[in-house]
Amino acid sequence: MPLRIYNTLSKDMEIFEPITPHKVNMYVCGVTPYDEPHLGHARAYITFDVIRRYLEHLGYKVNYVQNITDIDDKIIKRAAEEGKTTSEIVNKYSMEYFSMMDKLSVLPASMYPRATEHIPEMINVIKTLVDKGFAYAVGGDVYFEVAKFKGYGKLSSRDEKAMMAGARVAVDERKKNPLDFALWKAAKPGEPFWDSPWGQGRPGWHIECSTMSTKYLGETFDIHGGGLDLVFPHHENEIAQAEGATGKPFAKYWIHNGFVTINKEKMSKSLKNFFTIREVLSKFKPQVVRLFLLSTHYRSPVNYSDDDLKAVGNKLFTLQEGIDYINAYVDASPQTKDHTDHSDEIKSFKEKFFGAMDSDFNTADAIGVIFETLTLAHDLMKKRTDKKYLISARMLLSEFLGVLGLDIKETSVPEDVLRLVHERDLAKKSKDFAKADEVRDKVKALGYLIKDTPFGSITSGVL
């Protein structure tokens, strides 16, 4: 089954065919580091981390570029509030972003180009747009004239009235059309600036992504991604700029992840209803958060609640405990009673898992297959099946978890806990069940649970 992706541009599922065989160029809009990253950022970058992991699992070499917007009105405002330079603000919150991504097992992108490191390239693109008649200068500002680009609106499929509302454009009598957007902004007192043919100033937000993506991935590349809130105006404007400048199609596939909601309302800093990643990780382990966000298809909204995270934590513990159980069975090598060949049965789960991932990266269904595989493994253990089938199931689970970036390994139990487990085993053998229960409670207080199996005690960490 070929990989099929929902393309926001065509509004349809399409078979994925990269421009260059065996290679994928992917650009995802990165952070504007002026504050701590929130759960919406986690949702976006975990989504594209899994897409990247799956493409690499299929054998593609992925060049993944993610920008850092290090000059912006919000950064300038935060710097003024904290009495720091914009560079200090950017470095502070960029480090926080990278720290949180590392905790969530998000692999680093191939590169993280910064806007301020590409000002000359942006100026050249703007000059090209002016020379081609797509842009005009007025009073030190340069605007893109949307009426000159005939494909404007093709990504968002909005009419002009809807685009006006979505753009939330400020009234500026100098614009030819209220939808025209800034490519270059004239310098204001006290703000960072660069020299340009139109005077001192700084680039607009949209131009950086068009410039840096085409510089590092080519004038036409495979995948452009980001959150659903970026479809309009940011991505719509990127297309206009890039295609206006090059005369070529910009990105072949457009992928957008859905929102994280709180009480079914989009989580955002502007609405002041957001949770930072750090806040969430103070209550839940990173792998719980990752599994929670992947348990819903990436294009659908996911509603945040502590109760939902707790439920996912229980699921993750079940998975961890199940893997420990399989390991205990394999290590014990019990006498085989069931001599049935289960190879095809186990193989069918691999087909189901990759079938789900090939259907627009359906991680929700793929996670369901993981738990079905675990259930099969437990059924095989109850039947006393040859351990080679359990080894196959374990390898399959490891492969599935690797694709999703879920780092679930055999529980590593400290020596002091192992000594207590051994002490409990001795107490059970001598039928001192009161002492056995007492030791079990001590182990639980240390963050571990003991489960008795026909193959001996297994110990799992409490999530």
Has residue 300 been placed in a domain? Answer: no
Are 191 and 251 members of one domain? Answer: yes
Which residues lie across from 185 on neighbouring strands? 202
Check if the beta carbon of residue 53 is closer than 8 Å to that of residue 75.
no
Q: 451 with 378, same domain?
A: no
**Is 290 among the domain residues?**
no
Considering Cα of 86, then 87, then 91, then 92, what sign does the dihedral take?
Answer: negative
Instruction: Out of 7-11, 211-215, 227-231, 442-446, pick the least confident.
Output: 442-446
Report whether 63 contacts 217 (CB < 8 A). yes
pLDDT score, position 17: 98
Residue 278 lies in a domain: no
Classify strands 260-262 and 265-266 as parallel, antiparallel or unpaired: antiparallel
Q: What is the pLDDT of residue 171?
A: 62
Rounded Cα distance between 151 and 243, Å, is 9
In-domain check, residue 343? yes
Indicate whether 126 and 237 sit together in one domain: yes
Average pLDDT, the chain: 93
Q: What is the pLDDT of residues 288-301, one digit of tens each?
A: 999 999 999 999 99
| pLDDT tens per residue, range 21-72 | 999 999 999 999 999 999 999 999 999 999 999 999 999 999 999 999 999 9
Nearest to 149 by CA among 177, 124, 174: 177
Residue 456: pLDDT band (50, 70, 90) is: confident
Cis peptide before 286 (omega within 30 of 0): no
Tell me if 225 is assigned to some domain: yes
Asked if 228 and 354 sit in the same domain, the reply is: no
Q: Please check whether residues 456 and 400 belong to one and the same domain.
A: no
Last residue of a domain, one of 404, 426, 452: 404
- Over residues 146-181, the pLDDT tens digits come to 999 999 999 999 877 777 765 555 567 789 999 999
CA 394/CA 105 separation, integer angstroms: 21
CATH number of 58's domain? 3.40.50.620
Query: Which amino acid makes up residue 355?
Result: G
How far is the C-alpha of 149 from the C-alpha of 107, rounded, in Å?
37
Domain assignment present for 271: no
Could you give the count of Cα atoms lying within 13 Å of 228 in the half-sphere of its Cβ? 15
- In order of 62, 64, 65, 114, 225, the CA distances from 111 in angstroms are 12, 7, 5, 10, 15
What is the layout of strands, in order, in the sheet containing 141-144? 135-138, 141-144, 181-186, 201-203
What per-residue confidence (pLDDT) applies to 166? 56
CA distance 311 to 307: 6
Identify whether the C-beta of residue 321 lies closer than 8 Å to the C-beta of residue 458. Answer: yes
Q: How many structural domains is the chain composed of?
A: 3
Determine the Cα–Cα distance for residues 104 and 85; give it in Å rounded to an integer: 29
